[in-house]
Structure 1
C-alpha cells in the first residue's frame, strides 16, 4: 500500500467545493477506487507553517490552484527546495496544473502566462513517442481527451525533462522530470460536472479571448483515460517502479 501525500496548493471556487469537493477531495474520490487502496494524507501548503517530513511518504500529488506560479508567493517558493529534495530521494511525484508548473519552475524551467491565453474545456492531448513508452502515460491511447483550465503554462521545460504529451495550444502537456517524477497540465481529477462549473465561472475571460463558454460546456465529455492516471500513479508509487532512463 502506497503512502500518498496530497499537497494542496489552493482552494477551488466556494460553490464548486461545496457541490463537488475541493481540489484535494477530487483526488481522494478517484484514489478511493484504486486497487492498491493507498493511504492518503493532505498537506495544505498555503496555510502551513512548516513542511512535512518526507521519510514516511511514497508519493506526492501536487494539486491545482487559482494562484500563479510566476507570482512567487512565499508558501509556493518554500515548496521548491522541498520538491527538489523529494526528487533527489526519488520519491514518486505527480504535479497537476499548478503542480505541473511549480515542479517545472522548481527544477530549473520557467512558468508564466501563456501568450495565446487561457485553455479551458475538454480538449485532445497527444502522446509523444516517449510518452507512448512511459510507465505512467504509456497505458493511454495515442490521443485522448482531458479536462483543462489554465492561464499559465510551462513556457520552458527544465533541462533534462522529457516531454510526454502535447497539443496545439501547449507543447508541455505532460513532462517527466526524473525516474518517478511526472507532471501534467490537464486535470485528471476533474469530473464532467466540475469542468462545466469551471467554464461557467470563466465566461467573461473566455469571451474576452473570443471563445464561447456555452460551446465549450456543450463539448465537455468523459475523460476516463486521463482520470486513470491517478490510480496508475498510486500503483507505481506502491511498487517503487523506476524508469531506467529519460530517453
Structure 2
C-alpha cells in the first residue's frame, strides 16, 4: 500500500461538484484505490500541513481556480512543503496550479497566457527528454489529454527540463528534480468532468471568444463536441506512482 499526500488547492464550481464531484475525487476515481491510500489535505482552506512529507510515498497537488499570480500564505507554505519533499527524494507531482506553484517555488514565472484560456480535450507533444522520461513510459509522442487553465509557465525555470508542450503552451510538462514533475494539463480529468467544467463556464467562455473576435455562440458547442476519452491521463498518474515511488 502506497501512502499518497494529496494537497487540494481549490474546489470546483458548485454545479460541477454536484454532477461529477470535486478535484480530489477525480484523482481517486481515475487512479482507483487498489494499492493506494490517500490523505487529502484542503491546503487552500488553510488546513494544517504536515511538517514534512516523511511517511508518504508521494505528494500530489491538484489544480485550482486560484492563481499563483496572486500569492496567498497557504500557497507559500504548500510550495515549501513540496520543495522540501522533492529535495529529500520524495516524489512530487504538481497538476495545473500545482505545476505552476512548483515552477514559482523553483524560481520561475507564472503569467496569464497571451493566447487566453486553454480548455477541452487537447494534444501535447513530448520533447526528446519527455519521450525518455518515466512519467510518459509506454505512451505515444503525441498525447491526448484534458486541459483547463488561463495561467502558464512561460519558460522553464533554471535547472528544469521541458518534457512536453503544444502550440498554446510551450511548457506543458516539466522535470524539476529527479523525482519532481509538473504537468499543465489534467491527467485526472475524465470526459464527464471536462463536460461539466465547460458547461459551468459556458457564459464566460463565449464572452472570451467574442472578445477575441470569434463568432458568438460557437465556442462552447465546438468544445463540447471535441471532448474525447483520454486514457493517457490515467497512465501518466500510474507511471508517477509506480516509477517514481
Give the TM-score, by structure 1 length. Answer: 0.91
What residue is the counterpart of 2:190 in the other structure?
Answer: 191
Unpaired runs of 5+ residues, structure 1, are: 239-247
Alignment coverage as a number of residue pairs = 236
Separation of aligned partners in 1, 2:136 and 2:62: 18
Matching of residues 15-26 of structure 1 within 5 Å: 15-26=15-26
Give the TM-score, by structure 2 length. Answer: 0.92
CA contact (8 A) 2:174 2:181 kept: yes
Deviation at 1:237, TM superposition (A): 4.0
Deviation at 1:12, TM superposition (A): 0.7
User: Which region of structure 1 is more displaced relative to structure 2, 172-181 or 44-53?
Assistant: 44-53
Separation of aligned partners in 2, 1:76 and 1:59: 19
What residue is the counterpart of 2:228 in the other structure?
Answer: 221
CA contact (8 A) 1:33 1:231 kept: no
What residue is the counterpart of 1:243 in the other structure?
Answer: none
Deviation at 1:49, TM superposition (A): 4.6
User: Which region of structure 1 is more displaced relative to structure 2, 176-185 or 202-211?
Assistant: 202-211
What residue is the counterpart of 1:129 in the other structure?
Answer: 128
Deviation at 1:33, TM superposition (A): 5.6
Secondary structure (helix, strand or coil) at the match of 2:44 reads coil
Matching of residues 4-23 of structure 1 within 5 Å: 4-23=4-23
Deviation at 1:214, TM superposition (A): 0.8
Matching of residues 221-240 of structure 1 within 5 Å: 221-238=228-245
User: Which region of structure 1 is more displaced relative to structure 2, 221-230 or 205-214?
Assistant: 205-214
What residue is the counterpart of 2:3 in the other structure?
Answer: 3
Separation of aligned partners in 2, 1:69 and 1:75: 11
CA contact (8 A) 1:100 1:184 kept: yes
Deviation at 1:57, TM superposition (A): 1.1
